Amino acid sequence: MLDPKLLRNSIDTVAARLKKRGFTLDVPKFNALDEQRKALQMKMQELQNERNVRSKEVGQAKAQGKNVEEVFKSLKQLSDTLKVQEELYAAVQQELDDFLAVIPNLTHDSVPDGENENDNATIRTWGEPKKFSFKAKEHAELASINGWMDFETAAKLSGARFVVLRGPIARLSRALGQFMLDLHTTQHGYDEIFVPYMVKAEVLFGIGQLPKFKEDLFAVECDGEQKYLISTSEPPVTNTVREQILEEAQLPIKYTCYSSCFRSEAGSYGKDTSGMLRQHQFEKVELVQIVHPDKSYEALEEMTKHAEKVLQLLELPYRVVALCTGDIGFAAAKTYDLEVWLPGQDKYREISSCSNTESFQARRMKARFRDADGKIELVHTLNGSGLAVGRTLIAVIENNQDELGRIHIPKALQPYMGGMTVIE
């Protein structure tokens, strides 16, 4: 959430910056709501002061043995008027909060201007796409031969956009998750954490998924309350510092988490309907950092390199892309996407997003820290995929196929596969 003071002091500048990312700020509405809030607040404070004066008068009259009935009656009327005023103020404040809740973050100055993904900027590439002497197959065709990737059975069990993995492909998926966790915890300094898969609405509000992206979430009833299945472990992991004041010495906090993720894909009807690219349920290893505001862009570069290291060790060609103002996510101030090469599709596809949200999420979560001088400030939060396990599985399968349909296992994964070097 943006700082309301920023809008009050520089609303035209904020509106111009938001327009670059395709969001039109209703300036007259904000100004009207804010003026209404201020007027109600001033009136409320006047009534509170008057109530305090009248309360003292009642006490003095009692001490002097005077009849306090008229003064008390006047105080009661004043209290009733104040209560109405407080309710009016609360209603306007809630309307203002709702208005602020759907405004996206401001992008960093280094984010390229653009309208959509075609305007994203390639920052660097790693590895050369392999040239096959045969027509490369897609993952679903390769792994479905022996029923190792079974979409038909999954459809019977759960419907479209689910998969049943069996045998060596199931083991390969598990190996990928374990490999990623080991890398991030032993070499990159993250603490492993495991979180619930169902969360409350305020958790999703805290990271910016609610109210804007409600249609992309699966809601469930649990203990008489509506909860939501996580679309990534970012919400519960980031919210572990919600409504806390950390000490500066605790920063940075670095977590990695393996979880299942659940997405309705409401906005992607008709896209990637075959194979495992876009599923309702998938696994991901998440990276989250809670850092000092002065260190967040350094942390973004570090986190991106941590995600890249996974692809490098798996020998998968990829490129790093800076998302433009028109393609960046709601809460992000700056985002790098990693796009892995898929020979079966003959194109690069997203496999990770690493984002700095600056204080946007922290303000919604009330996540703060106390600096060396005792001043309370908002932390900066970052998140990234390190990586999406299902898409990494796709990339490993497609990039390591041979003309006989076998899948060769990257050296980094062989210890997790019991020494197996090839899936026949």
Q: Give the residue numbers annotated as catalytic, written as ranges.
A: 263, 278, 350, 353, 391
DSSP state of 403: T
What is the distance between the alpha carbons of residues 370 and 308, in angstroms, rounded to a whole number?
33
Of the candidates 366, 231, 359, 381, which has an alpha carbon nearest to the alpha carbon of residue 300?
Answer: 381
User: Rounded distance, CA 358 to CA 408, Å?
Assistant: 41
DSSP β-ladder status, 218-222 and 198-199: unpaired
Which three-class secondary structure string do you get for the chain? CCCHHHHHHHHHHHHHHHHHCCCCCCHHHHHHHHHHHHHHHHHHHHHHHHHHHHHHHHHHHHHCCCCCHHHHHHHHHHHHHHHHHHHHHHHHHHHHHHHHHCCCCCCCCCCCCCCCHHHCEEEEEECCCCCCCCCCCCHHHHHCCCCCEEHHHHHHHHCCCCCEECHHHHHHHHHHHHHHHHHHHHCCCCEECCCCCEECHHHHHHHCCCCCCHHHCEEEEECCEEEEECCCCHHHHHHHHCCCEEEHHHCCEEEEEEEEEECCCHHHCCCCCCCCCCCCEEEEEEEEEEECHHHHHHHHHHHHHHHHHHHHHCCCCEEEEECCCCCCCCCCCEEEEEEEEECCCCEEEEEEEEEECCCHHHHHHCCEEECCCCCEEECEEEEEEEEEHHHHHHHHHHHCECCCCCEECCHHHHHHHCCCCEEC
The alpha-helical segments, DSSP class H, found in 21-65 are 27-63
* 3-class DSSP assignment, residue 126: strand
**Beta-carbon count within 10 A of 113 CB:** 11
